[in-house]
Amino acid sequence: MKTRIHDVAERAGVSMKTVSRVLNREPNVSDATRDRVLEAARALRYTPSLAARGLATSKNYLLALLYDNVSPSYVLKVQQGATNICQESGYHLIVRPIRESISLTREDFVVLLERLPVDGVILTSPLSDNPAMLAALNQLNIRHVTIGGAIQSASCPAIGIDNRQAAEEMTRFLIQSGHKKIGFVKGDMYHISARMRYEGYKTAMAAHNIEINPEWVVQGDYSYTSGEVAARDIFSRSSRPTAIFASNDDMAAGVMAIAGHMGVSVPDDLSVGGFDDTATAGLVWPRLSTIRQPVREMGEKAAEFMIAPPCRENDVAAVNAQHLSYEHHLIIRESTRNI
Amino acid sequence: MKTRIHDVAERAGVSMKTVSRVLNREPNVSDATRDRVLEAARALRYTPSLAARGLATSKNYLLALLYDNVSPSYVLKVQQGATNICQESGYHLIVRPIRESISLTREDFVVLLERLPVDGVILTSPLSDNPAMLAALNQLNIRHVTIGGAIQSASCPAIGIDNRQAAEEMTRFLIQSGHKKIGFVKGDMYHISARMRYEGYKTAMAAHNIEINPEWVVQGDYSYTSGEVAARDIFSRSSRPTAIFASNDDMAAGVMAIAGHMGVSVPDDLSVGGFDDTATAGLVWPRLSTIRQPVREMGEKAAEFMIAPPCRENDVAAVNAQHLSYEHHLIIRESTRNI
DNA sequence: AGACATATTGACAGCGCTGTCATTTTTGTT
DNA sequence: AACAAAAATGACAGCGCTGTCAATATGTCT
């Protein structure tokens, strides 16, 4: 039925072990032998059995991507990046949506992780910053990497962008476009990113000596609906801002919908800034000015970290090299304008 | 380190095989023994090794979800449904985005599938209808199920909705709202769904003796951008329709964006209908009237089909029972109105 | 040429589980 | 009580691969 390593060995006239060596790119195989083996393998269309290999090496050749509740296009981009890398290395990516992760305990996560036969776990925000999850991972001694969570303070490889600086940049852009009355819609504060983005907004405002009107700063939760609620809230105040910076695209889209509904024209009466450059940003009209993160690349790097051999415990430099902050880009579209 | 079945057997005072029987819910174990084993397993926090089990049974306990290029929220819902079921049965779901699948040959797919160590493959549209993919699957004798592809004619389990009837329903709804000048944006004709939706539109129009103006029927490819292009095209004609039925939400959103841009007010000057009820439908303003598919349930059913023991070859009834057409729902929102 | 170091190769056990089949225990029947 | 039939249990091999370590081939240096 299925070809086994034994068949390849026979055809190439070598031992199984030698075939194994060639297939795993181990050293100490003569070029002639290597060629012979590779050809035999190709001719027989041999693919090694993951299960057998896993049993022998006590590896699983599987990574898990865990996510909760973030925007679909974000998750899918991470997924795409991670599978790209997995593919190259003979790994596979298994996915697990986890709903309402914030209400789960460490024990819940332990149970979940115990039955996940993987060599590494990729966490996306808000799981990236979930202490119970991180504790469970450490307890079970499972390698992991976070995307979009805290970076400097992380005790594991961590990948993201400088949310604070990016938010500062967007805010500065609005200010330089002539806006002074700038509202802000906060994201779910469970996400470190939400806190950093808020910080960035405040920093930029302070740097330009613009006082923040607290009536225009509203708590959201990163959902479209919360953006709508926030916008209704802000528009019901005695005075209105000329710009609103929503800390993600979905909320920005919510703001725009309500603006449209209330006869506030974007961008003529109101500039709206988003964050993430998800699919949403290009779907609304006018299209959102936003901050782009290189999400696919981040997914790739995360998988690379999990597949690469673990670096030595004491190698501080190597560990620091796993705290990776990617560049972001301010994308200017039609939802913002000079005044 | 990790507990093995041997440890559990020792603790329960039985043989390994008996533990195995209990864990796999095999018959012929006395209740007393079963309880003892289960307790021992729980106490030891035993989880079986997928690799070892896989090697012994020549199963992989993995399913693959293959997708190309459809809307992220759609894919994610299928994913969610499928993982739900996998979880219950100790399976795991591995994902594989496949880009530009239409340009790949059977041989490409064979190579791809050969290194996918899975027990079953779930295909979403447009892969569901890709003959090269289906041929590869059959050649390698890999179980598979399609979602959103052809149903009656499928040679494998197939899950979907009656696209034709759903499109007919939407069209009828527009007609009954007083519209006669109804345009249509076709989807990518590689998708069977796109063809069926177009059929449904034509059927409904014919049933009401309304002649279709070919100037208002434009080819799109299911993308947002193609919706924009289509709208520009339609609006540039000598006369304009009062309603446009775009055969998915993304294209409908594109139509709405261009309408907004050209001063055509939705729904006052133009009603717009979408299809799929993806996240997009709720993100645009006004929100789209559309057709909802029970996507999560479809993902669940697909996984169930792949996990359940294969039905006997000659059991025609059982095979037909695997051609499953789910109910759709017409969702009326603000993008359409009576005239 | 001989002695050693080094590079290449192979034999074999064993990873943790389940299938097969033999064995023991229980149940049912007369 | 004796026996057959059925239920419960266990011994053991082997799934396909790789790690270990021993064996052999090749090269290098006096």
pLDDT top residue among A146 and A115: A146
A116 has a pLDDT exceeding 80:
yes
> Tell me, what's the pLDDT at A56?
93
ω into A310 cis (within 30 of 0)? no
Question: Taking CA atoms, what residue in B is nearest to A115?
Answer: B47
Q: Is A312 on the interface with B (CB under 8 A)?
A: no
B138 has a pLDDT exceeding 70:
yes
> Tell me, what's the pLDDT at A279?
85
Distance of B42 CA from C23 C1′ (whole Å): 29
pLDDT tens for A119-140 read 999 999 889 999 999 999 999 9
Percent of chain B with pLDDT over 70: 96
**3-state SS, one letter per residue, for B262-320:** CCCCCCCCCEEECCECCHHHHHCCCCCEEEECCHHHHHHHHHHHHHCCCCCCCCHHHHH
Distance of B57 CA from C20 C1′ (whole Å): 13
Average model confidence (pLDDT) for chain A?
A: 92
Distance CA B36, CA B8 (A): 10
Lowest pLDDT segment from B118-122, B227-231, B271-275, B283-287: B283-287
Q: Is B51 on the interface with A (CB under 8 A)?
A: yes
How crowded is the C-beta side of A177, counted as CA atoms within 13 Å? Answer: 26
**pTM for the complete prediction?**
0.91
**Per-window interface: B 268-297 vs A, CB < 8 A:** 279-280, 282-285
Nearest of A169, A219, A170, A227 to residue A194 by alpha carbon: A219
Average model confidence (pLDDT) for chain B?
A: 92
Lowest pLDDT segment from A44-53, A204-213, A320-329, B242-251: A320-329
Find which nucleotide's C1' atom is closest to A15's CA: C10
pLDDT tens for A259-300 read 988 989 999 999 999 999 998 898 888 999 999 999 999 999
Distance CA A325, CA A177 (A): 28
Whether B224 and A83 lie within 8 Å, measured CB to CB: no
B143 has a pLDDT exceeding 80:
yes
Identify which of B51, B95, B224 has the shortest CB distance to residue A93.
B95
Distance CA A284, CA A258 (A): 12
Got the DSSP string for A223-267?
SHHHHHHHHHHHHTSSS--SEEEESSHHHHHHHHHHHHHTT--TT
